Structure 1
Amino acid sequence: MKIKQGAPVLLASLALTTLGGCGLTGSDSAGSDAIPLAGTSTSRDAADAVEKVSAELRGLTGVEGKPSEGRAGVTECPGKDPARYFQVFHPWSFYPTSNDRLDEAMERLKAALPEHGWKVVRYAPDTSRNKNLGLTADHGEKKYGVSVVQMKQNDPPKLSLTVVSGCYEVPEGKAVERF
C-alpha cells in the first residue's frame, strides 16, 4: 500500500529543511544550524501570527492577484521536547491577475524584503528541469524564514511560498496543539 503525502506537508518539510540552516539561527540555540527560539506562545496564537506574516509578504509583492486559502500548521521543533516546543508553518500560493506580472512580483519581493527587516540569503534558479527561480529570506528579529519559488511552468503560473517560524515554547500549563 502506498501512502501519498499532500503537497502542503511535503512543501513544509522542504521549507523546514531549507530554512533551518540558512540564516534563521540565533545565539540562544545550540549549533550553527539550530533553529532559534521565537518565544512563548500557544499553537493557535503562533499560527495566527505566521498567517499575518504571510499577509504582509503578499502586500510586498505590489501586484494584484489572489492568494490560496491554505491555513498554518504546527510541527515539531527538531531536537527539542515535542510536548513543550513547536514550530508553525504556512504554505500558500499567489496567483497574479496577469501571468506576465509574475516576474514583477518576484522582483518586488526581492527588493522590499530587506526594507522590512528580512535578509535575502538565496536568490537563484533551483536545480529542477524548469529552473524555477527561488528566494529564501530570514527575519532575525521576528524569527521567521520564507521560501518563495516562482513556478512559471505551472498552469496557472504562481509564486509558491512557505513561511516558517523559529521554535516556540508552549506556556506553562498549556499543551501543544497539532493541526
Structure 2
Amino acid sequence: MLRVFAARVLEARRPRMYAVAAVAALAATAALTWYVRPASGLGYPPPVLDPPTAKTGTGSVSTEILDALDVPGSRAAETLPGLASCPEDHHLFRVVHRWTLYGVETDRLEAGLRRLRAALPALHWKTTGTGTARGRRPVPRALTAERETDHFSLTAQLLPDTAAATHTSTPRIRVSIASGCYRTPASARPTQVS
C-alpha cells in the first residue's frame, strides 16, 4: 500500500519536476547564450583587447598593405590609428587607420593598386569590390576587401590628378583600414571614443 501511495505521489509530481527541470535548463541556456552571443549584428563574439594593443595591431596591418602596394619613391601621409565606436554596438570599439600614398605619377599608383589586389589573397584578404575607370583600357580606381579571420576591412581608392575639379594636382591612393569590433577589459575602458 505504501508503495502504491509513493508511486501515485511521484506520478503526480512528475510533470512539476519536468517543468522545474525545463525552466532550469532554459535559464542555463539563456545565461550561456547571453554570455557567448555575438553583439547585436556583428555575427561574431568580439574579442577582449585593450585599446593600445588594438592600435598596434591595426598599425601592423597597415604596414602589410603599404608593403603590398610596393610603390617605390612614393611618400605616405600617415595619421595614427584612432578609436571609433562600432556601428553595430556602441559599447564596443574598433580601430580605424587612414593614410594616403602620394608623390609619384598616376601610372605607378595604378600599378601599385594592381599589385595590392594580386597580393591580397596571400595575405588572407577577400576582395569584396572593385571599381574601374572607363576608357581604352580599364584602370583600377577602387578596391574593397575584408579579412574574415580578424574582421578587418580595407578600402583603397586611387584619386588621379584632378587639378581642374578640386584644385589638387597630386595623384594619390587613399587607404582606410578598420579593425573588427573589440570589447575592452574592465580595467581599460576607453575614455574617449570618437
1:68 aligns with 2:77: yes
The counterpart of 2:177, out of the listed 155, 163, 166, is: 163
List, as ranges, runs of 4+ consecutive aligned residues in structure 1 with deviation greater than 6 Å: none
Distance 2:69 2:96 in 1: 20
**Superposed CA offset, 1:101-150 (max 9, x none):** 01100100010011110000101148xxxx98110000111220000101
Distance 1:67 1:75 in 2: 22
Which secondary structure does the structure 1 equivalent of 2:54 belong to?
helix
Would you say how many aligned residue pairs link Structure 1 and Structure 2?
145
Distance 2:175 2:95 in 1: 14
Identity of aligned residues (%): 24
In proportion to residue count, which structure has more helix? Answer: 2
Q: Are the equivalent residues in 2 in contact too, given 1:63–1:96 (CA < 8 A)?
A: no
Distance 1:121 1:144 in 2: 12
State the Cα distance separating 1:78 from its structure 2 match: 2.1
Q: Are the equivalent residues in 2 in contact too, given 1:28–1:37 (CA < 8 A)?
A: yes
Q: Greater RCO between the two (CA within 8 Å, min separation 6)?
A: 1
What RMSD, in angstroms, separates the aligned Cα atoms of the two structures?
2.4
The counterpart of 1:77, out of the listed 56, 81, 86, is: 86
State the Cα distance separating 1:36 from its structure 2 match: 4.4
Gaps of 5+ in 2: 1-36, 134-138, 163-168
* Pair 39,163 (structure 1): closer, same or farther in 2 beyond 3 Å: same
In proportion to residue count, which structure has more strand? Answer: 1
Relative to the length of structure 2, the TM-score reads 0.67
Gaps of 5+ in 1: 1-26
Equivalences for residues 22-171 of structure 1 within 5 A:
28=38, 30-31=40-41, 34=42, 36-64=44-72, 65-82=74-91, 85-125=92-132, 133-154=141-162, 155-171=169-185
Relative to the length of structure 1, the TM-score reads 0.72
